[in-house]
């Protein structure tokens, strides 16, 4: 029972992070502010949801696979976000957009 409550709390925390990240992506005007949202808030939401699933599944093969997906996401999501930001910076994107954040 305690395990279910902890797992549901983590999943609801992840959903809140995803909703806040979506609001931020609509709210911010500059591109490099939006990269911050994707790199931190989305990772936080995804990892919280997967931690909730791991706690719900307990010690099993299912939880091991979920931990593998978590490790892969932690490795690859900052790399892809950095790649997008580097591409935008090298293409002279930094001077565009209005600065009223």
Partner 1 sequence: MNVFIVSIVIIAGLCIANIIRAVMGPTIWDRLLCLSMFSAKVLSIICLLAVVLDHSYYLDAALAFAVLAFIGNVYLSRYVIRRRKDG
The DSSP-derived string for 36-88 is: HIIIIIHHHHHHHHHHHHHHHH-SSHHHHHHHHHHHHHHHHHHHHHHHHHHHH
Sign of the dihedral through C-alpha 40, 24, 87, 68: positive
Binding flag, residue 8, partner 1 (CB under 8 A): yes
Q: Compute how many residues bind partner 1; rule: CB under 8 A.
A: 47
Binding flag, residue 59, partner 1 (CB under 8 A): no
Q: Looking at 6, 13, 40, 93, which residue binds partner 1 (CB under 8 A)?
A: 93
User: Strand, coil or helix: what is 95?
Assistant: coil
To partner 1, the closest distance from the beta carbon of 62 in angstroms equals 5
Tokens of 58: 């307990």
Residues that bind partner 1 (CB under 8 A): 8, 11-12, 14-15, 18-19, 21-22, 25-26, 31, 34-35, 38, 42-43, 45-46, 49-50, 53, 56-57, 61-62, 65-66, 68-69, 72-73, 76-77, 79-81, 83-84, 86-88, 90-93, 96
């Amino acid at each position: 029972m305690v395990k279910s409550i902890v797992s549901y709390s983590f999943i609801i925390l992840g959903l809140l992070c995803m909703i806040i990240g979506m609001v931020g992506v609509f709210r911010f005007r500059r591109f490099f502010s939006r990269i911050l949202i994707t790199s931190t808030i989305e990772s936080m939401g995804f990892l919280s949801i997967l931690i909730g699933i791991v706690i719900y599944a307990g010690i099993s093969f299912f939880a091991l696979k979920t931990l593998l997906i978590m490790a892969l996401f932690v490795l690859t999501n900052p790399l892809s976000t950095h790649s997008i930001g580097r591409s935008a910076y090298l293409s002279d994107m930094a001077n565009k957009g209005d600065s009223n954040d």
